Amino acid sequence: MFLEQPGAICLVSESRGALAGFIVAESDGITGHIVTLDVAPEHRRRGIGSTLLELAERKLAANGVRTVEIETATENEAGVAFWQGHGYREFGALRGYYLDRHDAYAMRKRLEP
């Protein structure tokens, strides 16, 4: 199971006993990777994604991670803006990354120790 692997992180946000959002990340040495960040549609625009990301970044940094990478679909304008707003910058394009049909940006952010 993925979450049993060393360096795996999962943080969950609940609202009234229901899942509001979650983030899954992993690390290997000084490099971390956000596997997914999802917020339920009815809970978006309330800061849940930002809070989950901040907590995951803190946890990764505490584990020695200095750079975090993510992938996001190039046509997902809101997603690209979210990541850029949190300090992530594009460093490449991944052709056919999603189901061999949709391109993605590879993005990264440097974490402070």
Domain count, the chain: 1
* One pLDDT digit (tens) per residue for the chain, 113 residues: 777 888 899 999 999 999 999 999 999 999 999 999 999 999 999 999 999 999 999 999 999 999 999 999 999 999 999 999 999 999 999 999 888 889 999 999 999 88
Q: Domain of residue 20: give its range.
A: 2-110
Q: Is 55 exposed, middle or buried (0-12, 13-18, 19+ CB in 10 A)?
A: middle
Rg for the chain, CA atoms, rounded: 14
Domain harbouring 79, CATH code: 3.40.630.30
- Report the relative pairing of strands 18-28 and 102-110 from DSSP bridges: unpaired
